[in-house]
Chains A and B, each alone.
Chain A
Amino acid sequence: MTDFLAALREHIPALLVIVPLLAAVIIPFSPAPLRRRGAAVSLLANAAALALASALAWEVFRLGRVSYRFGGWAPPWGIEYAVDPLAAVMLLLVAFVAFAASVYSGAAASGEITAEKLPYYQSASLLFVSGLSGMVITGDIFNLYVFIEIASLAGYALVASGRRRDALVAGFNYLILGTIAATFILLGIGYLYMASGTLNIADLRERLPHIYHTKTVLTAFAFLIVGFSIKTALFPLHIWLPDAYTYAPSPVSALMAATGTKVGIYAMIRVIFTVFKPEFNASVVPMKAILIVLSSAAIIYGAAMAIAQKDIKRMLAYSSVSQIGYIILGAAVASQHSLTGSLLHMINHALMKACLFMCAGLMLMSTGAEKVADLRGAGRRMPLTMAAFTAAALSMTGIPPTLGFVSKWHIGLGAVEAGYWAVVPVILGGSLLTGIYFWRVIEPAYFGAPPQSGHKNAEGGAPRWALAPALALAALGTLLGLAAHTPAVGAARAAAELLGR
């Protein structure tokens, strides 16, 4: 038994990817009785992944960086799985949101996905999670590409599983753009390999500085950044995102908005700060200025578009474009505080946007509300849903004492610290616009008269188990905001490490 546990402990990094992957294969190919219980299998697999991620995080925080050699081959020849504290937190975040989403979809998917599609939906979402975990955990840049593709392929299918036929077109467009992005990334990796002869990230970090100024490396960097910009939906390469999030079933939107783009940004941050050293970004290429301008534009454009939307989910999708702008802005400014804020905002946005999309799904299930205008009086008819929605919206806006305030505070402080005065109004103005588009929902919900049916509590219309994860996410986000000291210290340490200080 102890031997088994020791072996288990040793292989946690691999298991974290393998468990969801196996479950993804088992569900659609198993006999009918088990297939019908796909939700339970998926829940179990996600719970196991969450347990593994927690154990791994515990190990990393206690003992420091964990390196796992796949098949026993030592890096840089073999594929290495490398987990530092930042990666551990990301893994935990992905596992947690995936678990919450599987609880939610177990109860809620029936409303938006037809029964015969369910096993495939569960399989694809497990594949998606497996791919994301792989992206975070891998220490090999080609392996990163493979995991990106695993996650993306699952993502295309998930988006296309929406109940309206528009979902198919949204999924197809996403596929085209996503494949172009992945091919760019592949090309960038090819150039890096050509220039350095290695694919191991740690090894690349050591070898690249000697050849920073060669055209090959510059080309590689450019292709990688453009590829990741599409994957993370950085303005103006975001065009796939609003349709995808709008037409995907709400558990998919929640999962993808929370983890998909976040892991994309994580990978981008890894490329900028770990594969390359921060000096490269600061001194060799003008990428910093470009990213700052684009992300600032994303913040304002996304928020302005969100204000103009009538559909709740589309509004949330544009909100994502805007919030992604914040995260990338913090990373692009690349000062200690701004990067801290960026990492915190990643967590904040993941938890809260997942919660918001779940709430949107709950609203649809309990009252059939899809448009902002349908939410008049929702505060009385579905008090718990609206409470979760409001808590998440406050945090997105950055009202103190939420986590959103803490992250935006850091990004703003970082911008001042680094002397980028011009982006301070963008950061603050963006918050204000965020406040406006959420207010458009909150005000009629609490202060508008309900359409006709009066004060009937309609929350019973939504399955109770779908409500629980939304509330849990809102509660966790709020809690992290109230006790922001620990996450802030952790993020500051991770940022310092990324910046090589």
Chain B
Amino acid sequence: MIETIAGKYNYWIYISLMMIGFYAIIAKGNLVKKIIGVNIFQTAVFLFYISISKVRGGTAPILWDKAVLYDNPLPHVLILTAIVVSVSTTAVALAMITRIYKEYGSIEEDKILKSRRENL
């Protein structure tokens, strides 16, 4: 039992990270903190991808004459793309946050909501 739990420690790590990110998205009122939460959320999945690419006894997938066995390079490549996507998302989000700050004078969710309600 313990072995199955401990043996899948990569899952526990990624799930914990994901939940931490998710918690931040939901619970934090500050928009920047929300975005940090989103980043943690995404990074958790990236780690998961990298962890499944591991081959026992393999080395990093860089062409090397001493290597016998390589880790699976494909997830690495995929995650490289995903990281780019994640960075773009963060950029767009931060751009929006600066605009929101200009318009509402705050990046706290409750203040923004209050301001919206007042202007209805």
Contact = CB atoms under 8 A, between A and B. Distances in A.
Given A176-B25, A179-B38, A193-B75, A168 B99 contact: yes
Contacts of A169: 100, 112, 116
Contacts of A153: 85, 88-89, 92
Given A190-B52, A199-B74, 8 more contacts: A146-B81, A149-B85, A156-B96, A180-B41, A182-B85, A186-B45, A190-B75, A193-B74
Interface in B63-111: 74-75, 78, 81-82, 85, 88-89, 92-93, 96-97, 99-100, 103-104
A471 B49 CA distance: 49
Nearest to A184: B45
Point out which of A171, A176, A187 has the most chain B C-beta atoms below 10 A from its C-beta.
A176
Contact of A160 (B34, B48, B96): B96
A172 B100 contact: yes
Nearest to B38: A179
Contacts of B81: 142, 146
Contacts of A165: 100, 103-104
Contacts of B97: 172
A199 B96 CA distance: 34
A157 interface: yes
A180 B25 contact: yes
B7 to A, nearest CB: 15
B100 A166 contact: no
Interface of B (DSSP majority class): helix
Contacts of A176: 25, 34, 38, 93
Interface size class on chain A is 20 to 34
Interface in A343-358: none
Interface string B4-41: 00000000000000000010010000010010001001
Interface in A173-224: 175-176, 179-180, 182-183, 186-187, 190, 193-194, 199
Contacts of A146: 81, 85
A501 B89 CA distance: 41
15 contacts: A142-B78, A149-B85, A153-B85, A153-B89, A156-B96, A168-B103, A171-B96, A172-B100, A176-B34, A179-B42, A180-B38, A183-B45, A186-B42, A187-B45, A190-B49
Contact of A179 (B49, B89, B100, B103): B89
A190 B88 CA distance: 21
A153 B94 CA distance: 13
B112 A175 contact: no
Interface of A: 142, 145-146, 149, 153, 156-157, 160, 165-166, 168-169, 171-172, 175-176, 179-180, 182-183, 186-187, 190, 193-194, 199
A202 B82 CA distance: 23
B68 to A, nearest CB: 21
Nearest to A198: B74
B99 A186 contact: no
Contacts of A160: 96, 99
Given A160-B99, A168-B99, A168-B100, A149 B116 contact: no
Contacts of A142: 78, 81
Contact of A183 (B41, B99, B103, B104): B41
Nearest to A160: B96
Contacts of B74: 193, 199
Contacts of A145: 82
A209 to B, nearest CB: 22
A377 B25 CA distance: 46
Contacts of B96: 156, 160, 168, 171-172, 175
B100 to A, nearest CB: 5
A190 B85 contact: no
A175 B25 CA distance: 12
Nearest to B39: A179
Nearest to A145: B82
> Which of the listed residues B85, B97, B103 has the most CB atoms from chain A within 10 Å of its own CB?
B85
Contacts of A149: 85, 88-89
Contacts of B89: 149, 153, 175, 179
Contacts of B92: 153, 156-157, 175
A166 B96 CA distance: 12
Top-10 shortest CB links A-B: A165-B103, A149-B85, A168-B100, A194-B52, A172-B96, A187-B45, A190-B49, A179-B38, A168-B99, A183-B42
B76 to A, nearest CB: 12
A169 B101 CA distance: 11
A149 B49 CA distance: 18
Contacts of A183: 41-42, 45
B70 to A, nearest CB: 15
